[in-house]
Structure 1
Amino acid sequence: MKPNLEFGRILNSEELQELGAILSQCFNMPASVCQKYSQRLGQDSFRYVRQGNQIVAGLGIYQMGQWFGGKQLAMAGLAAVGVAPEYRGTGIVFELLTQTLRELYNQGVPISVLYPATQRPYRKVGYEQGGTFCNFKLPTNSIKLAISEEAVKEIRSLPMQRVSLIRPEAFYDIYRQQAIKNNGNLERNQAIWERVIEPEPNREIYAYLVGNEAQPEGYIIFKQQNENQLSQVVISDWVALTPAAAKRLWVFLGDHRSIAQEVLWHGSLNDPFVSLLAEQTYKIVSGDRWLLRVINVPKALAQRGYPVGVEAELHLEVNDELLPENHGKFVLRVSNGQGEVTQGGSGELKLNVRGLASLYTGLFTPDQLLVTGQIEGSDRALATASLLFAGSHPWMRDFF
């Protein structure tokens, strides 16, 4: 760390207010919104860089989990990374991120994720593209399933019950049953759940369980709004654990055609829900890629899940200029879906920590990373890595 800079944890309301003024300006947020955000995340979750007596930059940390290969890993989600405008371009953000990652390594956190406003400063400290976040739009009057009218009548017999959001615990287990099967999905903490269920001022949010209340098969949480003279159903979260629940949710949304012209939601680039529609009338109106940083290489590789039935050994050589503990050769042995990591080996598959991030999540295959120069190795090593890191497309429904 530069000698004139100090890195630390926010300790009192005065420091939080000082950092909040910077973040409000950076993200064009009213002070009241920034205050509410900091209350939700918690004072202990913020870090700062100070020059002299002045806080000049800071960020927030979401402590939560993320699913890969059917296993949950502890994950630090970085958010609200802001630098006072008069200090931009001075290397402050590099110092802030470097010290934060060092702290997270010392705490034993294996991975970190963030949504970048710009990728360059995060790539400098080892983050790389890890998965997708997509916004979908669909005309309500086009919602039709590729099934008969009789089958639609049968689907309607699956009950949907409106429920209160006062106790969101009703959704936790249903959500987790879906998340465990999707690479990149969050193990949400309370702050993320509050974002999902919190209504906007003067706008109600609705929630329904699908199926038997004692053993629900899914749910939907949404609001209704008018935007650009269009009436919209905006889904903040939805889960279907069975084919019947997925079809019931589409029928339910189609039944809004008389009061809403569009349905909007966040989903995967390869969203399986849309395959049930009779026609491809949906659009991906925008997409983003979140970045992942492998903070502790042995721990991240050992704690991730792998395809059951694959018995393999992969020798890696990782280059990490920021965290020297990750720099070197490692052997990953996989059996019965479990990974075990030891130091050493031949280093047959060579990559830097950024290339490892995209391989780790499964966003890109080893062959794709080979073409972009982010990985090199023998045909055998590339084939082994392809087997081990195969899985569902990594994505997130949550933005933070």
Structure 2
Amino acid sequence: MTSQFEYGSISSLQEIQRLGEIIQQCFGGSPNDWERYLNRIGAENFRVLRQGERAIAGLGIYHMGQWYGGKILSMAGIAAVGVPPEDRGKGIAYELLSRAIEELYQLGVPISVLYPATQALYRKVGYEQGGSFCRWELSVASIWLQERNLSIYPVSPINYTIFEDIYNQQAQVNNGNLVRHRAIWEQVLEPPKEEAIYAYLIGSENEPEGYIIFTQNREKQESAIEIRDWAILTASAAKRLWTFLGDHRSQIGKISWRGSPFDPFLLLLPEQTAKIIDRMNWMLRIIDVPSALSKRGYPMGLEAELHLEVRDDLLAANNGKFCLSVSEGRGEVTKGGKGTFQIDIRSLASLYTGFLTPQQLQLLDRLKATQEDLETARLLFSGSHPWMADFF
């Protein structure tokens, strides 16, 4: 199989055009959409699989970061995995992804994340569910907060650098949140269907405590606010923001936003009227086991060792025994150890992010461990439920 294909970067304008045709057919869109997408990610961050001189598949890679345990890890976001329909069912997507994962390992990238169109393919190359992406909806009439102690003022012109520091302060305490690629920010600030984008800062101009970016549209005879992005650093900012949204009730029927399935700011509302209207789980792959385990953060005050034995059918370097030693919130990994915590690379992904507990994975026959090791692992990988507000 390997000898039939060549994997690599885009090598010509003809390949750019061919990859655009593949992605447009697989995901919809126009040539203008493809040109905009290409420019955002950068042609150098796309990969193609060739058979002979013909490009038969491709994907894009977002090089960015992701927060775990209060620490940033380099992360490769895989997007736009495209194989034309006439070439499907031949193992081409598996070959493309396997080659990409091998490249990421050589580059020293510890983890990779993607949104699956189908789980079966990505599980074959070691990805597993790692966190949540949710879309919420709330009737504006149900808010009824009257907290106006903080100022809220519009931002114009709108530039993501105004909001980036506030966003990063919120992201660092939420497992799975991104250190956003510029293309993600541009996606946030691009209005759909030429709608106007509104942006506001909350608090003082010198030290804002939050922001909101949104559009207003009309759906089925009802006007709605779609929150493109928001970040809230204090309870006062959260109350002021809910009040601001509630003040739209005379003209706006509902609001929607993307976030965690366990949104803490909903606790401030008088009733449980917000509903999750869409939810999916993104998938993560551990690319480099020692690097991923040593670079994430761990609970302060916990001194512990976990003796893992990992199985990875794709990357041989991830196979074997590893001892994770944690002290003062930091992890150190050495080869060897007792291997009493036995787990495959996919299950390690769900444990690593905190998406599933070791006890839950054991119940599913996804790991073997002593009760002592299970409790140690539970403490090591505890934290907020992993989620992202960004789709790529």
**AA of the residue aligned to 1:66:** Q
Is the 8 Å Cα contact of residues 354 and 385 (structure 2) preserved in structure 1?
yes
Stretches of structure 1 that go unaligned for 5 or more consecutive residues are 146-151
1:344 matched to 2:369? no
1:165, 1:197 within 8 Å by CA — same for their partners in 2? no
**How is 1:1-400 mapped onto 2 (pairs within 5 angstroms)?**
2-145=2-145, 152=146, 155-400=147-392
Deviation for aligned residue 1:163:
0.5
**C-alpha separation in 2, matches of 1:230 and 1:188:** 33
CA contact (8 A) 1:232 1:261 kept: yes
Deviation at 1:201, TM superposition (A): 4.0
Assess if the C-alpha contact under 8 Å between 1:11 and 1:43 holds in 2: no
Secondary structure in structure 2 of the residue aligned to 1:102? helix
Residue deviations 1:58-90, cap 9 Å, x none?
A: 000000000000000000000000101111000
- 1:29 CA displacement: 1.5
Q: 1:267, 1:399 → 2: CA distance?
A: 11
Supply the distance in 1 between the matched residues of 2:227 and 2:391 (Cα, whole angstroms).
Answer: 14
Could you list the runs of 4 or more consecutive aligned residues of structure 1 that deviate by over 6 angstroms after TM superposition? none
Partner of 1:149: none
- Mark the runs of 5 or more structure 2 residues left unpaired by the alignment: none
**Cα distance, 1:165 vs structure 2:** 4.5
Q: For residues 158 and 152 of structure 2, what CA distance do their matches in structure 1 show?
A: 18
How far did 1:164 drift?
Answer: 2.1
What is the Cα deviation at residue 3 of structure 1?
A: 1.5
Displacement of 1:103 in angstroms is 0.3
CA contact (8 A) 1:319 1:351 kept: yes
Q: Distance in 1 between matches of 2:40 and 2:12?
A: 16
- Distance apart, 1:2 and its partner CA: 2.2
Shift of 1:376: 1.1
Alpha-carbon shift at residue 309 of structure 1 (Å): 0.5
| Mapped partners of 2:2, 2:299: distance in 1 | 45
Structure 1 residues 165 and 390: alpha-carbon distance in aligned structure 2, compared to 1, 3 A threshold: farther
State TM-score, norm by structure 1: 0.97
What secondary structure is seen at the aligned counterpart in 2 of 1:279?
Answer: coil
Q: Residue deviations 1:109-138, cap 9 Å, x none? A: 000000001100000000000000000000
Number of equivalences? 392
- In the alignment, residue 253 of structure 1 is paired with which amino acid? L
Q: Is the 8 A contact 1:162 1:209 kept in 2?
A: yes
Structure 2 length as normaliser, TM-score? 0.99
Question: Over aligned residue pairs, what C-alpha RMSD do you find?
Answer: 0.9
The question of whether the paired residues in 1 share the 8 Å contact of 2:362 and 2:368 is answered with yes
| Alignment partners' CA distance in 2, 1:130 and 1:364 | 8
Cα deviation 1:18-76 (Å, max 9, x = unaligned): 10100000012122112211111110010011112211110000000000000000000
Percent identity at matched positions?
57
Alpha-carbon distance in structure 2 between the residues aligned to 1:358 and 1:212: 40
Is 2:158–2:199's contact at 8 Å kept on the other side of the alignment? no
